A and B are shown apart, each in its own frame.
Chain A
């Protein structure tokens, strides 16, 4: 197996992989954007439910989110992929993956929103009550606008974390970057090039994004 030929870097293999690479980037970004949207909106729902007036909402939501947050995404992915069809819900692999990533990370974004909501001074809640604003309007007009501004950089961190978890979708056969490189390697028996290109691509995307977020953090959190 180990020959000098396979241990050298072959640029033509990189060139052959490139078309598949761009297709993979497209699928990865699709999963990332849709997964982020689910996690941002669902996380907000959880965060508001953490502060619900009744414990019959707070406790179940707390238990469910803790459970999802402390169990592996990969197993959740398989759970959804294999169990949903048994319950008569047919999703494509990509849709299942997007739902799983969105659901998993919503429990993280919920904690981010919670921290942002807790950072809103108590006087704001009291002022809303003194003006006898209704429940819904207290949230939408007073609390959330102040809370969300502060947490945008932290949410961005989880987008990067989600990006790094999209390769898990290869486990259920979604044709994202990792799966494309595996297929390429299976065809050509050249594992080195395709896998390295994909690995470097993640660093190339993730590092500038984290620099960008740090800059954003300095502007938004003051």
Chain B
């Protein structure tokens, strides 16, 4: 592979992959907290709507959603999105639905007495959420969020099927140019692995920081592959139903 291919296709591709990951993760976080908190709302209608959202977006395939936003939405709505933002919207909405389950689970896992204490002190629901529930729930969310972030990074590869020039698309072009597949695809896989590794390191630092804020420390982790293992072992024995893979 020549330097020109690197400079014009692969490096910009890496940059687009990173951009897609960051923007989609930002959107997914907003969706996850909004929908996840709505699922603990006292009104049944709000809970139902939030539940409906998660089931629909968790039920469908991210790739089909992406194609739908890209091809069908313009015809139905009369306006279209730039490919990049269509992809961000699709990824953010579907991974946000997975994240909402994480938020809901973490909020429900806060000891009920904490909530009752808030009621006894006549905090408003929003004050309870902001001052009592979230500070304790957020550190618990970070390991599953870290896994979802890696899933999201993997999900960004789907955009290459829409012709967006991310690193997978660059690999496709380089393959056409050099007539050699093994090398460029191996490099691409390594690039994704390195980005995933860096993301998890960052999330682990974030976990340490938020847990220190409430006077706790992260679990040291187990197993021989502790240093290398990227994913957190959120899979524990009676395995929760919400642990399903994000896909892609």
Contact for B185 among A83, A150, A217, CB less than 8 A = A83
A85-B228 Cα distance, complex, nearest whole Å: 32
B193 to chain A, nearest CB (A): 5
With contacts A58-B224, A75-B171, A167-B61 taken as known, whether A67 is within 8 angstroms of B189 at the C-beta atoms is yes
Cβ of B60 and Cβ of A203 under 8 Å apart? yes
Contact for A192 among B75, B189, B229, CB less than 8 A = B75
A116 to chain B, nearest CB (A): 7
CB-defined contacts of A191 to chain B, threshold 8 Å: 71-72, 75
Minimal Cβ-Cβ distance residue in B for A164: B61
With contacts A2-B78, A75-B168 taken as known, whether A108 is within 8 angstroms of B245 at the C-beta atoms is yes
1/0 contact string of B187-226 vs chain A (CB within 8 Å) = 0110011001100000000000000000000000000110
1/0 contact string of A59-87 vs chain B (CB within 8 Å) = 10011001101111111101100110010
Minimal Cβ-Cβ distance residue in A for B245: A161
With contacts A164-B61, A195-B67 taken as known, whether A158 is within 8 angstroms of B181 at the C-beta atoms is no
Query: What total of chain B residues lie within 8 Å of the partner, measured CB to CB?
Result: 60
With contacts A67-B193, A157-B243 taken as known, whether A202 is within 8 angstroms of B61 at the C-beta atoms is yes
CB-defined contacts of A59 to chain B, threshold 8 Å: 224-225
B87 at the interface (CB under 8 A from A): no
Contact for B236 among A115, A166, A178, A202, CB less than 8 A = A115
Minimal Cβ-Cβ distance residue in A for B189: A71
Cβ of B63 and Cβ of A178 under 8 Å apart? yes
CB-defined contacts of B56 to chain A, threshold 8 Å: 203
Q: Give residues 103-122 of A contacting B (CB, 8 Å).
A: 105, 108, 111-112, 114-116, 118-119
Q: Give residues 175-222 of A contacting B (CB, 8 Å).
A: 178, 182, 185, 191-192, 195-196, 198-199, 202-203, 206-207, 210, 213-214, 217, 221
1/0 contact string of B165-193 vs chain A (CB within 8 Å) = 00010011001000001100110110011
B56 to chain A, nearest CB (A): 6
Cβ of B75 and Cβ of A158 under 8 Å apart? no
CB-defined contacts of A6 to chain B, threshold 8 Å: 75
CB-defined contacts of A63 to chain B, threshold 8 Å: 225, 228
CB-defined contacts of A7 to chain B, threshold 8 Å: 75-76, 78
Report whether over half of chain A's contact residues are helix, strand or loop; otherwise say mixed: helix
Binding site for B on A (CB under 8 A): 1-2, 6-7, 55, 58-59, 62-63, 66-67, 69-76, 78-79, 82-83, 86, 105, 108, 111-112, 114-116, 118-119, 150-151, 153-154, 157-158, 160-161, 163-168, 170-171, 178, 182, 185, 191-192, 195-196, 198-199, 202-203, 206-207, 210, 213-214, 217, 221
Binding site for A on B (CB under 8 A): 55-56, 58-65, 67-68, 71-72, 74-76, 78, 150, 153-158, 160-161, 168, 171-172, 175, 181-182, 185-186, 188-189, 192-193, 196-197, 224-225, 228-231, 233, 235-239, 241, 243-248
Q: 19 A-B residue contacts at CB 8 Å? A: A1-B74, A2-B75, A66-B228, A66-B229, A69-B231, A71-B189, A71-B196, A72-B154, A72-B157, A74-B160, A75-B188, A78-B185, A112-B239, A158-B245, A167-B61, A185-B71, A195-B68, A221-B238, A221-B239
